Amino acid sequence: MSYRSVFAPDLFAGQVVIVTGGGSGIGRCTAHELASLGAKVVLVGRDPAKLARVRQEIESDGGACDSEAFDIREETHVQAAIANIVKRCSRVDGLVNNAGGQFASPAAAISAKGFDAVVRTNLTGGFLLARECFTQWMGDHGGAIVNIVADMWNGMPGMAHSGAARAGMVNLTETTASEWGAFNVRVNAVAPGWVASSGLDRYPPEMRDIVRGLKDSVPLGRLATEAEVSAAIVFLLSPAAAFISGSTLRVDGAAPNFKTNWPRMERRTPSPVFDGFHRSVVPEVLK
């Protein structure tokens, strides 16, 4: 089997796209879709073994893939890694700033160290990657950046650190879109809502019932698939989005628009699902 993308074959032929957090979840899915459309994908993450597994998947499906393991939070590591990628691949046409991480906690219980760790991963690291892709290649040749944020509209109770970092990334997206537009660099963001991906299995056991009930606060009545988020990312990287920059595209089933004072309507039919990812796996918590 191969990835069943809605986009034209060879859409990204000859292009090089970096995908951070490419060892699992949305990053893994997006890497597979981009590779299926002709891109040479460079997987980025901290775990070489995870990157190697996804690289093997993509290559066995006939795609072109490279990988670079480093810590996106460390400035010198990022600078060296992008230099290595440019040297090996000769170009960087796209960046998917997907790497991130957080832990559930009420705001009052988050230490300064914990807050800083999440901000460095979800904001600072993304900034460093975007800056280096711009200064080392895109500033002279153009390109497209898609920052992955989160459904943090109206606050993010239980994850104040991540909500603050993601909101910062939305503003950074808008700022760099303005500053870098003259260099033919487009910068956009995708804000996924709750996604049925492997990340759901990393939450502690006491949160399992909460995770299973998330769909009840989504007007479309379900969680997103990884492929539905990937499709939004690929669109923003594509020529079809040539005049879109500084925007944030929500992929959340209208969850932020859910109102407790509006009666829940009984669904007439299930919400249609798109899942073109031939290697997708249902998270254990949702089984």
Cα gap 256→155, rounded to integer Å: 10
Q: Is 164 left (phi over 0), alpha (psi -120 to 50) or beta?
A: alpha
> Is the pLDDT reported for residue 84 higher than 90?
yes
Closest CA to 250 of 150, 155, 154, 165: 150
Cα gap 238→241, rounded to integer Å: 6
As a whole-number percent, the residues of the chain with pLDDT over 90 amount to 86
- Domain residue ranges of the chain, discontinuous segments joined by +: 16-252+280-286
The pLDDT of residue 264: 79
CATH superfamily membership of 16-252+280-286: NAD(P)-binding Rossmann-like Domain (3.40.50.720)
Least confident of 42-56, 162-176, 217-231, 255-269: 255-269
Read off the pLDDT band of 266 (50, 70, 90): confident
Closest CA to 189 of 235, 131, 253: 235
Q: Is the Cα dihedral 20, 23, 29, 33 positive or negative?
A: positive
pTM of this prediction?
A: 0.96
The pLDDT of residue 246: 98
Closest CA to 22 of 230, 248, 283, 185: 230
For residue range 226-239, list pLDDT tens digits in order.
Answer: 999 999 999 999 99
Least confident of 70-74, 82-86, 266-270: 266-270
Query: What mean pLDDT is predicted for residues 98-123?
Result: 94
- C-alpha to C-alpha distances, 226 to 74, 183, 195, 273, nearest whole angstrom: 28, 31, 6, 11
Least confident of 225-229, 241-245, 279-283: 279-283
